Structure 1
Amino acid sequence: MRQTMSRMNGSTIKQYSTTFLLVGSMASTVQIRAAEAVYHANSNYEAIKQSMLAEFALTARDIPTALHNYTVLAIKSNSTAVKQRALNVALEHEDLRAALDISTHWVVQEPQDVPALFYLSHIALKAHEYELAAETLDKILKIDETADLEEILAGIAPDNTEDRDYLIQALSTSKTKDNPSILVLIAGLEAQNGQLEQALETINRALKKRPKTTGYILMKANLLNSLGNEQETLAWYEKASRKNKNNLEIRLAEAKYLIKLNYSKQALAKLEETIKKWPKSEEALFIAGLTSIDLEEYEKAEKYLVELRYSLKYQNEAYYYLAVNAERKQHYETAKAYYRLVDGSLYTVSRRNMIAIFSEQDKLHDALRFLTQERVNYPQHASFLYLAQADILKRMNNKHAALRLLEEASQNLPEDPELIYAQVLLLDPFEDREILDERLKTLLHIEPNSPTYLNAYAYTLAMQNHRLDDARKYVEKALELAPEQASILDTYGYICYLQNDYATSVSVLEKAYLLNPTVKIGVRYARSLYMNGDMSRFNQMLNQLQQNYPNDPELKQLHSLLLIPSFQTS
């Protein structure tokens, strides 16, 4: 049964190449009796020919022909590989009717073949043929009453209440309706329908028959938790752990639930008991290490996490949290040493943390040297490393060096928009007008529908008070893509202001300020109100800004406006 389920993983049906099918077909002729050699050779030749025609049709995107040939071949052939290939093609091209025909004939030919029955029940569910699915599940359980059927529903459970009710009805009236495997399927469907009390009752029936099944125990815990019964859930976990002392999965689930409820001390105590019994359990060691850090038990954290340094699954996470642990203890050199060892998905965050330590130690030059070496050791992270170095140079007030570095980076990685955008942010809109225009055009060539890059181009043109009609088109397109982004609304309002379209400017900047009430946006909004002749709202806005930002120099712009008459719009 375990083999059967492994064949259901991935895209459901395992793919086989044409070559494999042909070799498999030809190999099968070895056992043919001599008297029937000519007949079977001809039959085998026709099968090879038909499979080749099907594959050629697939290559030519002639899906109907391919499906027809493979369906006929699967129905006529006794080859499991051919049937699986035919099913894969049918499902890949979402022809459930063909898949159903193939799997149905397979079961007719081999009624005791459990994998074939699994395929048929899976496809029947996918095709919403719930009565057929229930009948097929009955047949599976007749062959093996302990079969685990949950994987059949994985990823294809009915997606609406009506269909789930229909399937529940079909399963509840089947011959094996009291089988625990059927009951757990029904409980899962009831839970999806929000019938949590009913689902709990159903899983309890399954547990009476199989009280030690881990999946059933954990499902009951999840249902109790979903019902908001915190104490009952804790009591159930405690009871299940006590009665299943040798079940690591239940022990770990209990500890995770305690952590979820912020009972970290109790969780750590449970984890320590678990580690005594299963000293090599990587998950237990990892959770215990993280929980110890949270509880500021740093020595314990190190003891558990060090055990995972050579773990295939947790190595990077172990190094990362060993570094965090060392940093919490203010052992900064140890932290940096551990951060250096981190790779994978935690690479960038670990290097950012290292840069923060260098900065705290006032060793930014050392950070620059470190990042240069990292580009040699980790060329796949070159873009991130260049950007990190440029940011450090900017913090060191060395903008020209940062621009030179980013120019070098763009030559090595010419299609990387983030490196170009970093240059855009550093270039002066007046002194570097031509190169800035070229960089912005390159950005939009690489990602023409990026609201960030469209907004950057529009804002640059607005700052230059240049090509305002083009700027407005860019920012309007950016707004279509990201209508609730304050920075884009701010640019749009600023452009409208420069075009003397004060009414639109007021409307847009009001929305921008509500989304992000910064002094910069507030001052632009107030200026637009003033130029639109709305003195009442202008005064309200001025008072609000003075209260929120009493010493901000940008407010001087608004005070100067009071010395000149406002403009009244018609």
Structure 2
Amino acid sequence: MRQINGRHYGMTIKQYSTTFLLVGSMASSVPVRASGEIYHATAHLDAIKQSMIAEFSLASHDIPTALHNYTVLAIKSNSTVVRQRALNVALEQNDLKAALDIATHWVVQEPEDVPALFYLAHISLRAHEYQLAAQTLDKILTIDPNADLEQILAGIAPETPTDREDLLRTLHSSKEKHNPSILVLIAGLEAQNGELEQALSTINRALRKRPDVTGFILMKANLLIAQGDEEAALKWFAKSSRKHKKNQDVQLAEIRYLIKVNQPEQALSKLENLLKKWPNAEEALFIAGLTSIDLKEYDKAEQYLVALRYSNQYQNEAYYYLAINAERKQHFETAKAYYRLVDGSLYTVSRRNLITIFDKQNKLEDGLRFLTQERVNYPQHASFLYQAQAEILKKMGNKKAALSLLDEAIKNLPDDPELIYAQVLLLDPFQDKVLLDQTLKKLLQIEPNSPTYLNAYAYTLALQNRRLDEARGYAEHALEYAPEQASILDTLGYIAFLQNDYETAANVLEKAYQISNSLNIGVRFAKAVFMLGDMEKFTNVLQQLKQKHPNDPQLDQLDSLLLPAKSHKS
């Protein structure tokens, strides 16, 4: 409860802070002169009051009041900040009518304001007001013929063919239909409709008018790639790179495509040329580092990645791949040093790789001490670090110490489901029956709809051959959330088998086996078919299993089921 309250409190603070920003904006945009213009002072105070009411309404989830107040404020106010805030609130609440009203009034008040026109065009498209959208696009292009209109379509391109056709007709009827920016929008919609040849023709028309626009060049490349014409795409990239030698984006796009079509040597050669012109191009350095690792040119990789150690964007990735590079060179101590420097989204995978190195060096005790220190340095990763230590202790054969460590972890983080699940995986379903039952119940209290935890409880009860109806309910509930997960299908099939419901068991286990090709699931499936009495199908399944898993001792048991039939025939 404390965490939930804290979260709401944080949201409230954020919204109240927005109110103060708006008040400051209105204070600067509506000056109150000391000459006694009471009307302006009153209007100003009313605006402050109205914005505060709107923000308090948002905080208390009274959306209609908040939207009404912001719509009135946006129409009356001259403040861009107020209008943008009003629009953001309307769009966040998906109230397109309110957003359209606000944007329309903004454009009426400031007909030459390009950001306002962009808002109106964007919202018109979202609201399927295509005629208004086309008129607004015309207006934007009249003011700025070189405006980049792609962002207007971002995230709002019509999803249905009918809506796309409506928008295409509207754009084709626009008086600016030959404008290259409009042609790009049309090409994008045609591509969405699967009309790739037509889209290519349209983008070529745009390129004839504006051949140097990066977005147009890359759209043509993407259309050629979408057509599956690798040769044409490579030729277009090569031609564009030669023609636009100073365009880094085009050069990098060609390099990425070369890597994609498995031409890393050529890509690296082009990267080397690019870096001669732009030695500090971070994306190029990063791609060059990774490509060099793939080509086993480890010294080159190190040279490129070391240059990114202080990059705001690539620092963690650089350290991570420097560690990978050092590992490939068998320089394990260097690799460990680099892995220790990795943070951010690569933190957990870097520490797992580090533990693997400790394991290879037979230094798991050192790994345990390292992870203990990591819990001090990175408390936000405590759950993962406890689990990693428990895995090491289990690998060292010290299950008791692993359980003890997880007990300590759960006391510190009592509602962490991953820690509790780690404990579940260590408990014995027979020796620890009571504790396991309590732990699984706690897991489902925290996350009642987790297919993983539902399946764990169902399978545990199946192993113990008790409360099978309850176990079946858990497995069926898990399948509602993960219907194609083989392990859950296997659990349900196993429970149905124990309940003598062989028909359900056979059907469910057959599906699980088709998904996973697991020997254990295949053996269960064969047994269920045998219990149904379908000897022909049983023989076929057994033969399939023998082909995929020859000489596996588990199949001897299935073979023995055929012996009575063979004896009878002889």
Taking structure 1 as the reference length, the TM-score comes to 0.89
Counterpart of 2:27 in structure 1: which amino acid?
A: M
- 2:32–2:41 CA contact under 8 A, matched in 1: no
User: Residues 427 and 121 of structure 1: is their aligned pair in 2 closer, same or farther, counting only changes over 3 Å?
Assistant: same
User: Residues 359 and 24 of structure 1: is their aligned pair in 2 closer, same or farther, counting only changes over 3 Å?
Assistant: closer
Deviating more after overlay: 322-331 vs 72-81: 72-81
Deviations for 1:58-111, whole angstroms, at most 9, x for unmatched residues?
445443344333333332333333333332333232222222222222222222
Deviating more after overlay: 241-250 vs 547-556: 547-556
Q: In 1, Cα distance between the equivalents of 2:383 and 2:412?
A: 10
Counterpart of 1:194 in structure 2: which amino acid?
A: G
Partner of 2:176: 176
Q: In 2, Cα distance between the equivalents of 1:474 and 1:551?
A: 36
Partner of 2:81: 81
Deviations for 1:391-441, whole angstroms, at most 9, x for unmatched residues?
222222222222222222222222122222222222222211111111111
Partner of 2:395: 395
1:249-328 alignment runs, 5 A limit: 249-328=249-328
Q: What SS is found at the alignment partner of 1:484?
A: coil
- 2:16–2:55 CA contact under 8 A, matched in 1: no
Q: In 1, Cα distance between the equivalents of 2:519 and 2:296?
A: 40
1:340-355 alignment runs, 5 A limit: 340-355=340-355
Partner of 1:428: 428
**Deviation for aligned residue 1:174:** 2.3
**Deviation for aligned residue 1:38:** 2.5
- 2:25–2:82 CA contact under 8 A, matched in 1: no
Q: In 2, Cα distance between the equivalents of 1:218 and 1:89?
A: 34
- 2:391–2:402 CA contact under 8 A, matched in 1: yes
Partner of 1:366: 366
Q: In 2, Cα distance between the equivalents of 1:202 and 1:249?
A: 22
Deviations for 1:149-187, whole angstroms, at most 9, x for unmatched residues?
221221112222222232233223323222222222222
Counterpart of 1:63 in structure 2: which amino acid?
A: I
User: Residues 168 and 59 of structure 1: is their aligned pair in 2 closer, same or farther, counting only changes over 3 Å?
Assistant: same
- 1:15–1:88 CA contact under 8 A, matched in 2: no
Higher relative contact order (Cα pairs below 8 Å, separated by 6+ residues): 1
Partner of 2:22: 21
Partner of 1:496: 496
Deviating more after overlay: 517-526 vs 294-303: 517-526
**Deviation for aligned residue 1:466:** 2.2
Partner of 1:140: 140
1:72-471 alignment runs, 5 A limit: 72-471=72-471
Q: In 1, Cα distance between the equivalents of 2:126 and 2:508?
A: 49
Partner of 2:4: none
Counterpart of 1:381 in structure 2: which amino acid?
A: H
**Deviation for aligned residue 1:321:** 1.0
Partner of 2:506: 506
Q: In 1, Cα distance between the equivalents of 2:16 and 2:145?
A: 29
- 2:496–2:504 CA contact under 8 A, matched in 1: yes
Q: What SS is found at the alignment partner of 2:345?
A: helix
Deviating more after overlay: 76-85 vs 459-468: 76-85
Q: In 1, Cα distance between the equivalents of 2:461 and 2:51?
A: 61
Deviating more after overlay: 189-198 vs 511-520: 511-520
- 1:54–1:67 CA contact under 8 A, matched in 2: yes
1:2-13 alignment runs, 5 A limit: none
Partner of 2:9: none
- 1:16–1:81 CA contact under 8 A, matched in 2: no
The percent identity for this pair of structures is: 69
**Deviation for aligned residue 1:307:** 0.6
Partner of 1:5: none
**Deviation for aligned residue 1:277:** 0.6
User: Residues 476 and 132 of structure 1: is their aligned pair in 2 closer, same or farther, counting only changes over 3 Å?
Assistant: closer
**Deviation for aligned residue 1:449:** 1.4
Q: In 1, Cα distance between the equivalents of 2:544 and 2:107?
A: 76
Deviating more after overlay: 125-134 vs 178-187: 178-187
Partner of 2:516: 516
Counterpart of 1:30 in structure 2: which amino acid?
A: P
Q: Extract unaligned runs of 5+ from structure 1.
A: 1-13, 566-570
Counterpart of 2:469 in structure 1: which amino acid?
A: D
**Deviation for aligned residue 1:57:** 4.3
**Deviation for aligned residue 1:542:** 4.7
**Deviation for aligned residue 1:470:** 2.2
Deviations for 1:504-558, whole angstroms, at most 9, x for unmatched residues?
3333333333333433333333433444444454455455545554554444654
**Deviation for aligned residue 1:22:** 3.0
Deviations for 1:245-299, whole angstroms, at most 9, x for unmatched residues?
1111111111111111111111111100000110011111111111111111111
Partner of 2:8: none
1:63-74 alignment runs, 5 A limit: 63-74=63-74
- 2:454–2:475 CA contact under 8 A, matched in 1: yes
User: Residues 247 and 484 of structure 1: is their aligned pair in 2 closer, same or farther, counting only changes over 3 Å?
Assistant: closer
User: Residues 526 and 325 of structure 1: is their aligned pair in 2 closer, same or farther, counting only changes over 3 Å?
Assistant: same
Counterpart of 1:474 in structure 2: which amino acid?
A: Y
Counterpart of 2:456 in structure 1: which amino acid?
A: A
User: Residues 442 and 541 of structure 1: is their aligned pair in 2 closer, same or farther, counting only changes over 3 Å?
Assistant: same
Q: In 1, Cα distance between the equivalents of 2:544 and 2:177?
A: 69
Q: How many residues align?
A: 552
**Deviation for aligned residue 1:29:** 4.5
Q: In 2, Cα distance between the equivalents of 1:356 and 1:504?
A: 42
- 1:15–1:84 CA contact under 8 A, matched in 2: no
Q: What SS is found at the alignment partner of 2:428?
A: coil
- 1:16–1:85 CA contact under 8 A, matched in 2: no
User: Residues 299 and 65 of structure 1: is their aligned pair in 2 closer, same or farther, counting only changes over 3 Å?
Assistant: closer
Q: In 2, Cα distance between the equivalents of 1:137 and 1:166?
A: 16
Q: In 2, Cα distance between the equivalents of 1:72 and 1:37?
A: 22
Deviating more after overlay: 272-281 vs 178-187: 178-187
Q: Extract unaligned runs of 5+ from structure 2.
A: 1-14, 566-570
State the superposition RMSD in angstroms.
Answer: 2.7
- 2:29–2:78 CA contact under 8 A, matched in 1: no
**Deviation for aligned residue 1:343:** 1.3
- 2:32–2:40 CA contact under 8 A, matched in 1: no
Partner of 1:8: none
Q: What SS is found at the alignment partner of 1:246?
A: coil
- 2:529–2:538 CA contact under 8 A, matched in 1: yes
Taking structure 2 as the reference length, the TM-score comes to 0.89
Deviating more after overlay: 164-173 vs 50-59: 50-59
Deviating more after overlay: 509-518 vs 52-61: 52-61
- 1:410–1:420 CA contact under 8 A, matched in 2: yes
Q: In 2, Cα distance between the equivalents of 1:540 and 1:197?
A: 49
Counterpart of 2:102 in structure 1: which amino acid?
A: I
Deviations for 1:232-251, whole angstroms, at most 9, x for unmatched residues?
22222222212211111111
